[in-house]
Amino acid sequence: MTHHRRKIIIDTDPGQDDAVAILLALASPEDVEVLGITAVAGNVPLPLTERNARIICELADKPDTLVFAGCDRPLQRALVTAEHVHGKTGLDGPQLADPVMPLQAQHGVDFIIETLRREAAHTVTLCPLGPLTNIATAMQRAPDITARIQQIILMGGAYFEVGNITPAAEFNIYVDPQAAEIVFKSGVPLVVMPLDVTHQVLTNRKRIEAFRALGTEPGRMVAEWTDFFERFDMQKYGSEGAPLHDPCVIAYLIRPELFQGRHINVEIEATSELTMGMTVADWWGVSNRPANALFIGSVDADGFFAVLTERIGRL
């Protein structure tokens, strides 16, 4: 199967799994051209997520990557963070040096707007790996860009797995449900990687040791990050290992045939506190609401880890 190299903007709140996703993208120049990385407040506050994004680019030996700081809080709600999963820095696990490469002066939202206006229509794909604040803000501030976006491939939401931050909601959507609502109503073609699929790509001893066995610095970091990240999820779910949520977004660009889903209607709960941030996904087609997303439900996990390990090994 041939596919064209896609121009992407990665919007992210690193986060160990965001870090693995960014490494996967930077290691895959034949599949994706990373126009820039926009940081958002999410797993940890913005000063840490933009810093972590730069640490990751340096680890990939790609210090020329453009990294921007975006929004430091959700559109309407107070920021909720996830240090209980990712540690105080967001990248807890290995020792990491301070980044040397610069943060771009431009605001991340302005970069998104400017890039979509500059590049030909339908040639830029957005890859959100955190709360959707930057993307929604760009759409609100510059409505003309919405129709120019090729596709949005995002990690967020859940149907069968329901919630991870509340009983009803997945973290990225819960943190900024108003932003999510704007994105899901935007009319842009969406591909959604919910917990239903990310909970199928679990690390285990063998998979983590395969990263370590690469014998490279990035391989060792991925092993140490996933080791750290794993503890929390193993305790919580009693599962074998930790889900590599965000790398699913980039893996989809590289090997879409590994994933299977349904074109369905997905609405965001943005009113009720009890179920705030829930993705109401019409998996069974019981409403007459039009499809607005390709909602992914399954993945070939061995295929996923094979690509991921091979690509990380290039760095």
Catalytic residues: 245
Cβ atoms 91, 55 nearer than 8 A? yes
**Binding-residue total with Ca ion (CB under 5 A):** 6
Strands 67-69 and 149-155, by their bridges, are unpaired
Q: Is 44 in the site for Ca ion (CB under 5 A)?
A: no
Q: Is 176 in the site for Ca ion (CB under 5 A)?
A: no
Stretch that binds ligand BDR, among 23-31, 70-78, 92-100, 165-173 (CB under 6 A): 165-173
Q: Is 156 in the site for Ca ion (CB under 5 A)?
A: no
Q: Which tokens in the block code for residue 13?
A: 């709140």
Q: Is 87 in the site for Ca ion (CB under 5 A)?
A: no
When the beta carbons of 17 and 50 are compared against ligand BDR, the nearer one is 17
Q: Which x/- pattern over 241-260 shows residues binding ligand BDR (rule: CB under 6 A)?
A: ----xx--------------
Q: Is 172 in the site for ligand BDR (CB under 6 A)?
A: yes
Q: Which residues contact 215 (CB under 8 A, 6 or more apart)?
A: none
- Pick from 11, 18, 181, 196 the residue near Ca ion by CB under 5 A: 18
When the beta carbons of 28 and 164 are compared against ligand BDR, the nearer one is 164
152-183 in b/e burial notation, b at 16+ Cβ within 10 A?
A: bbbbbbbbebbbbbbebbbbbbbbbbbbbbbb
Q: Is 85 in the site for ligand BDR (CB under 6 A)?
A: yes
294 phi and psi angles, rounded to 5 deg: -90, 105
Q: Is 17 in the site for ligand BDR (CB under 6 A)?
A: yes
**Binding-residue total with ligand BDR (CB under 6 A):** 15
Q: Is 116 in the site for ligand BDR (CB under 6 A)?
A: no
Angle of the 205-212 helix axis to the 301-312 helix axis, nearest 10: 20
Whether omega for the bond prior to residue 93 falls within 30 degrees of 0, making it cis, is: no
CB of 170 to ligand BDR, least distance (A): 5
Q: Which x/- pattern over 116-135 shows residues binding Ca ion (rule: CB under 5 A)?
A: -------------xx-----
Q: Is 124 in the site for ligand BDR (CB under 6 A)?
A: no
CA separation for the pair 129, 13 (Å, rounded): 7
DSSP annotation string for 63-86: TTS-EEE--SS-SSSPP---HHHH
124: which strand partners?
7, 149
Sign of CA dihedral 232, 233, 234, 237: positive
170 contact, one of Ca ion, ligand BDR, none, CB 5-8 Å limit per kind: ligand BDR
Angle of the 16-26 helix axis to the 46-59 helix axis, nearest 10: 40
Q: Is 50 in the site for ligand BDR (CB under 6 A)?
A: no
Task: Tell me which residues touch Ca ion (CB under 5 A).
Answer: 13, 15, 18, 129-130, 246
Contact residues: ligand BDR, CB under 6 A: 15, 17-18, 43, 82, 85, 129-130, 155, 164, 170-172, 245-246
